Chains A and B, each alone.
Chain A
């Protein structure tokens, strides 16, 4: 799987939008971009994923650049409970089965009151 690059840490004020960048310049055409977060040693929580189109769900929005070499996860109104380590992962989806995830170091997002 392609590697991703994320800033090690970010701060964001409570109530503001948190924008978390991720670079995946070597992504292949059949690799999806996934975002997970891990709150204080709990199991990682799935947030969102996408292939080439922008995606939105109840938790967040995912913006993928046209060349797919980078993406941004947007938490529209960050709360203190959004403080966590956020992982950007690229993963091949082969259709007939699935592989495990390769986690990088992620971004430690700290929401400030």
Chain B
């Protein structure tokens, strides 16, 4: 399995500000994914980040709100921009370590006041 870390593990932010979440993997991976889990809900895929190309966003998510960087094969960032209380969620990154199995990081718990 992959070792995946996320920073920060949790944060409390004021509305209107932005937060950048980092995801670090212990080995090189092609695909990295970002998910959101709103309170009491299941996970929803935000976007797929492939190194060397722009991220691919799912319906309902836009780059201006959730810009993603993928500078190398072990690292990615997700920024939650111009936050509102509705952005309070757990944000998770995941990777396909093998071509069949996806592993998840511990998540970043975000509370927007």
In contact, B106 and A93 (Cβ under 8 angstroms): no
Q: Which residues of A contact B43 (CB under 8 A)?
A: 44, 101, 103
Distance to closest chain A CB from B48 (angstroms): 6
For chain B, residues 1 to 59, give those with C-beta under 8 angstroms from any C-beta of chain A. Answer: 1, 4, 30-31, 33, 35, 37, 42-45, 48, 58
Distance of A41 Cα from B4 Cα, bound (Å): 16
In contact, B106 and A98 (Cβ under 8 angstroms): no
Distance of A32 Cα from B106 Cα, bound (Å): 24
Q: Determine if B96 is an interface residue (Cβ-Cβ < 8 Å).
A: yes
Q: How many residues of A contact B (CB 8 A)?
A: 22
Name the residue on A nearest B100 (C-beta): A93
In contact, B1 and A46 (Cβ under 8 angstroms): yes
Name the residue on A nearest B104 (C-beta): A43
Known contacts: A41-B90, A49-B101, A106-B42. The answer to whether A97 contacts B107 by CB under 8 A is: no
> Interface residues of B: mostly helix, strand, loop or mixed?
strand
In contact, B33 and A100 (Cβ under 8 angstroms): yes
In contact, A93 and B48 (Cβ under 8 angstroms): no
23 contacting pairs across A/B (C-beta < 8 A): A41-B107, A42-B106, A42-B107, A43-B4, A43-B94, A43-B104, A43-B106, A44-B104, A46-B102, A46-B103, A46-B104, A49-B101, A93-B100, A97-B30, A98-B99, A100-B58, A101-B43, A101-B45, A102-B45, A103-B42, A103-B43, A104-B42, A106-B42
Beyond the given pairs A42-B106, A98-B96, 20 more chain A to chain B contacts, judged by CB atoms under 8 angstroms and listed by A's residue number, are A41-B37, A43-B4, A43-B104, A43-B105, A43-B107, A44-B94, A44-B104, A46-B102, A49-B100, A49-B101, A93-B99, A93-B100, A98-B99, A100-B48, A100-B102, A101-B33, A101-B45, A101-B94, A103-B44, A106-B42
A residues near B (Cβ < 8 Å) are 32, 34, 41-46, 49, 87, 93, 95, 97-106
B residues near A (Cβ < 8 Å) are 1, 4, 30-31, 33, 35, 37, 42-45, 48, 58, 90, 92, 94, 96, 99-107, 109
